[in-house]
Structures are given as structure tokens and as C-alpha cells.
Amino acid sequence: MVKTVATLALVFACCSDAAWAACMVDRWGQAVCGAGPCARDRDGEVYCAPTRFGSVVRSLYGEIRCAPGQCMRTLKGEDICSNVDGGGAVKLLDGQVRCEGACIPATPEQCEYTRAAR
């Protein structure tokens, strides 16, 4: 019985949202966490993807942009992404991008920027 309760507690702890959160330290030494992967921009600010399997990409000009799904860069330098959580995106031979769900551009507004609680 004790082993069963301990196992269930461990499974619950591993599957909680906090266990999957990605965190990174910004230039001021404060942890910033998000639902998905995180990256620093050229100024040391940390931005995270809005979903667990989302994307964080750096534009040609060093700006961080995010999306809920996977992203691909077009021949024109645009980051085109799936609007589905963890959805796939592929680049065709002619340079066009096809996405699971719908294709959307990666934008800074989709990024999370939440300081971790103390």
C-alpha cells in the first residue's frame, strides 16, 4: 500500500505543469520560466515558448519570436510555424512551408516572459 501511494505521488509530481516548465536565468540573475523551451535575446532578456512543445526562434535581426508549434524559415527569412501545440512544419523544395493545422508567423507577442516565483 505504501509503495502504491509513493508511486502515485511520484507520477503526479512528474506530470504536473511545474515539472515540465523550462527555466533560464536572465542577465539580472533572475529565473524566467515558461511552458516550453526558452532562449535569450541579444540583450540578455529571456523569452519562452507558449506551449510545452512550442518553438523559440531568433530572427535574422536577433529578435526572439515564439509559436505554439514547430517553425521553419522561408527563403525570405520569415519564420513560419504551426498553430497547433507541438505541430509540425516542413519546408518544401520550392521554399514554401507547410504546417500541421494552419501556418502562422512566429511573433514576439506569443512568447512568455514570466519571472519564477520565490
Indicate if the alpha-carbon torsion angle 85, 88, 94, 95 is positive or negative: positive
Distances (CA, A) of 102 to 69, 71, 82, 93: 10, 12, 6, 19
Kindly indicate the confidence band of residue 18, based on its pLDDT and cuts at 50, 70 and 90.
Answer: very low
- 76 burial (CB, 10 Å; 0-12 / 13-18 / 19+) is exposed
Give the chain's largest Cα–Cα span. 61
Higher pLDDT, 16 or 82: 82
Task: Say how far apart CA 71 and CA 10 lie, in whole Å.
Answer: 34
Could you read off the pLDDT of 22-73 as tens digits, one per residue?
788 888 888 888 889 999 988 888 999 999 999 999 988 889 999 999 999 9
What DSSP assignment string belongs to the chain? -HHHHHHHHHHHHHHSHHHH-EEEE-TTS-EEEESS-EEE-TTS-EEE-SSTT-EEEE-TTS-EEEESS-EEE-TTS-EEEESSTT--EEE-TTS-EEESS-EEE-BGGG-B-EEPP-
pTM of this structure = 0.73
CA distance from start to end of the chain: 35
Looking at residue 53, what is its pLDDT? Answer: 94
